[in-house]
């Protein structure tokens, strides 16, 4: 028997699994059965796969891992947001969030243990970067949340790559996981219900435009010009504000899709008249959505969240300038599950 080069079966795309099965003398249709068990029926081992011959199940169990993540902790916020702390095989910890809402149920996924980008408002980068997550480690987060969502009566409907880490810094594993999420034989969530958020890794924005998949792109902008973004986001020294905006214009042109910009509201820093004026200039001619994210407190930083009035005034200002902006209401703050509050260590 050919030894597989992957150890976790969830690292296989559908086609790769077919290829593997054929290589060991099995029929390729077994891939559909196995995919259905894993991604649709939620099997956590090969045992329940009763329509797969027992001998093949045994072979698969010997060759591959198929098991749940170890759950270290599960915290449920007053607003129903549920945060999982997973303990991976090498004891790296990552967090995943289930966000129930009236019209949708969303998972927020982590792609790395830690983060190397060190944004000066985000908890995820404080301990630095440890390693990339594999495709299987990413997709298994979805399998857990899918199972959990069933308890809320509303099936998992939306996916956001806005947990710990920078998806574009782990591009291949992230893309492979997206394809499994999107694949009708896999988790089967429409591409338009999948959003990836990046801190602005320009070459990968270009690469995504060429992938031919219609997922939503969100850009963590947060600064209103080059100088302010340099201070808040060190990545801006490598991929400066103006180049980023230019890359976004190109992406919109090439894909005919809109981009969502995420913009953090920090009192006296990003939520000012000067900032609104500067954004007006930068966004001339760009049709986009802007999500204004009130700063969620992280103890290591001494930023302040603006008052509701200040945030609304800022939003109105942007709208006067023709920038469609909404203020995102924070979810799960009481269990530190809101944007920017996730971290990879257990010490929070
Ligand atoms: N690395 C990717 C994915 C993380 S997404 C990215 O940077 O886009 C998480 C979102 O929450 C990002 O927009 C991030 O900038 C934002 N965020 C980080 N810290 C925050 C905080 N303290 N308050 C509010 N939003 C924060």
pLDDT, tens digit (0-9, with 9 covering 90-100), for 244-284: 999 999 999 999 999 999 999 999 999 999 999 999 999 99
Same-domain pairing of 40 and 111: no
Domain boundary (43, 63, 83) is at 63
Q: Six-digit token pair at 204?
A: 């990968």
**CATH number of the domain enclosing 51:** 1.10.150.530
d(CA 277, CA 273): 6
User: Which residues in 133-288 belong to E strands, given as ranges?
Assistant: 158-161, 194-198, 216-220, 259-265
Residue 98 in any domain: the answer is: yes
pLDDT, tens digit (0-9, with 9 covering 90-100), for 46-97: 999 999 999 999 999 999 999 999 999 999 999 989 999 999 999 999 999 9
Residue 167 in any domain: the answer is: yes
**Cα–ligand 1 centroid distance for 41 (angstroms):** 33
d(CA 34, CA 62): 15
Same-domain pairing of 248 and 135: yes
pLDDT, tens digit (0-9, with 9 covering 90-100), for 199-225: 999 999 999 999 999 999 999 999 999
Number of domains in the chain: 2
**CATH number of the domain enclosing 289:** 3.20.20.70
Find the mean pLDDT for residues 220-248. 98
pTM for the model: 0.95
Residue 3 in any domain: the answer is: no
d(CA 115, CA 117): 6
Burial 43-70 (b: 16+ CB within 10 A, else e): beebeebeebeeebbebbeebbebeebe
% residues pLDDT > 70 (the chain):
97
Nearest to 126, CA basis, from 332, 296, 304, 345? 345
Contacts with 50 (C-beta within 8 Å, 6 or more apart), sequence order:
none
Q: Ligand 1: which atom is nearest the Cα of residue 199?
A: 7
Q: Which of 205, 220, 332 to mutate to test the pocket of ligand 1 (most atoms within 8 A of CB)?
A: 220
Regarding the beta carbon of 111 and ligand 1, being less than 6 Å apart is answered no
Same-domain pairing of 50 and 77: no
**Cα–ligand 1 centroid distance for 336 (angstroms):** 13
Q: Ligand 1: which atom is nearest the Cα of residue 330?
A: 24
Q: Six-digit token pair at 290?
A: 């802007």
d(CA 217, CA 260): 6
d(CA 99, CA 79): 9
């Amino acid at each position: 028997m050919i030894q597989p080069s992957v150890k976790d079966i969830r690292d296989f795309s559908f086609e790769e699994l077919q290829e593997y099965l054929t290589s060991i003398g099995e029929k390729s249709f077994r891939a559909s059965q196995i995919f259905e068990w894993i991604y649709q029926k939620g099997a956590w081992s090969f045992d329940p796969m009763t329509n797969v011959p027992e001998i093949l199940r045994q072979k698969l169990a010997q060759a591959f891992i198929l098991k749940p993540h170890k759950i270290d902790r599960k915290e449920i916020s007053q607003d129903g947001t549920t945060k999982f702390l997973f303990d991976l095989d090498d004891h790296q910890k990552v967090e995943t969030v289930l966000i129930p809402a009236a019209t949708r149920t969303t998972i927020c996924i982590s792609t790395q243990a830690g983060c190397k980008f060190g944004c000066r408002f985000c908890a995820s980068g404080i301990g630095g970067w440890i390693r990339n997550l594999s495709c299987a480690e990413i997709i298994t987060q979805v399998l857990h949340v899918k199972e959990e969502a069933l308890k809320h009566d509303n099936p998992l409907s939306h996916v956001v790559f806005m947990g710990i880490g920078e998806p574009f810094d782990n591009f291949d594993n992230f893309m492979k996981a997206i394809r499994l999420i999107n694949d009708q034989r896999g988790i089967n969530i429409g591409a338009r219900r999948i959003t990836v958020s990046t801190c602005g890794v320009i070459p990968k924005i270009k690469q995504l435009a060429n992938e031919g998949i219609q997922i939503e792109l969100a850009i963590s902008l947060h600064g209103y010009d080059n100088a302010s973004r340099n201070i808040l986001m060190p990545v801006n020294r490598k991929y400066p504000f103006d180049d980023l905006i230019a890359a976004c214009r190109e992406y919109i042109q090439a894909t005919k899709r809109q981009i969502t910009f995420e913009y953090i509201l920090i009192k006296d820093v990003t939520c000012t008249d000067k900032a609104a004026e500067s954004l007006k200039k930068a966004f001339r001619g760009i049709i986009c959505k802007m999500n204004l994210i009130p700063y969620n407190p992280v103890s290591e930083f001494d930023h302040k969240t603006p008052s509701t009035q200040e945030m609304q005034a800022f939003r109105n200002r942007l709208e006067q300038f023709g920038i469609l902006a909404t203020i995102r209401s924070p979810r799960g703050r009481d269990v530190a599950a809101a944007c920017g509050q996730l971290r990879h260590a257990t010490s929070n």
